[in-house]
Amino acid sequence: MVYELASLKDLDSIYDVVQHTIKTIYPKYYKTEIVDFFSEHHSRDNIAKDIEAGCVSLLRIDNNIVATGCFIDNHITRIYVLPQYQKKGYGTFILKNIEKQISEKFDKAYLDASLPALLLYEKQGFLVIKNEKYPVKNGVVLEYDVMEKVFNKN
């Protein structure tokens, strides 16, 4: 297992991990319009910008990229694990690494929780601080929780 900073040469593989995960997992939780929103939000261009900004890490197993994480300042913006690698601790591993990096500069971390990942974040000590609504297409509204974790600096 290798966890490292992503480079643009990894863009296609990271994009595939994110899109495959969204299209496989999210329809179990969300309407089509919301799945499409997430797919568009995590576009190739947006992932490329994050890679160029040095915000994206990846997890390789047997030289295959199976998961990715991204944060900007103290906001965790993307953690995706291929469905066949879920429930093996890889999402938690990425989250803990991101938390460690954020805690070096900030007292707390934030994220916008998707329904599939809500339990993971709760188990890792994130608490819901507010609920948000975001209109997508065809009158469909994405409802999500903003979560926060305060780091104990003792």
The model's pLDDT over 25-52, given as tens digits with 9 standing for 90+, comes to 999 999 999 999 999 999 999 999 999 9
Taking the C-alpha atoms of residue 147 and residue 76, their distance in angstroms, rounded to an integer, is 10
Predicted structure pTM score: 0.95
Helix, strand, coil shares of the chain as percentages rounded to 5?
45, 35, 25
Predicted local confidence at residue 154, as pLDDT: 59
User: Residue 81: CB partners within 8 Å, gap ≥ 6?
Assistant: 17, 21, 59, 66, 67, 90, 91, 94
Taking the C-alpha atoms of residue 88 and residue 26, their distance in angstroms, rounded to an integer, is 19
Note the pLDDT tens digit of each residue in 50-108.
Answer: 999 999 999 999 999 999 999 999 999 999 999 999 999 999 999 999 999 999 999 99
Enter the CATH code of domain 2-106: 3.40.630.30
Predicted local confidence at residue 68, as pLDDT: 98
Predicted local confidence at residue 118, as pLDDT: 93
Predicted local confidence at residue 153, as pLDDT: 67
Taking the C-alpha atoms of residue 36 and residue 44, their distance in angstroms, rounded to an integer, is 14
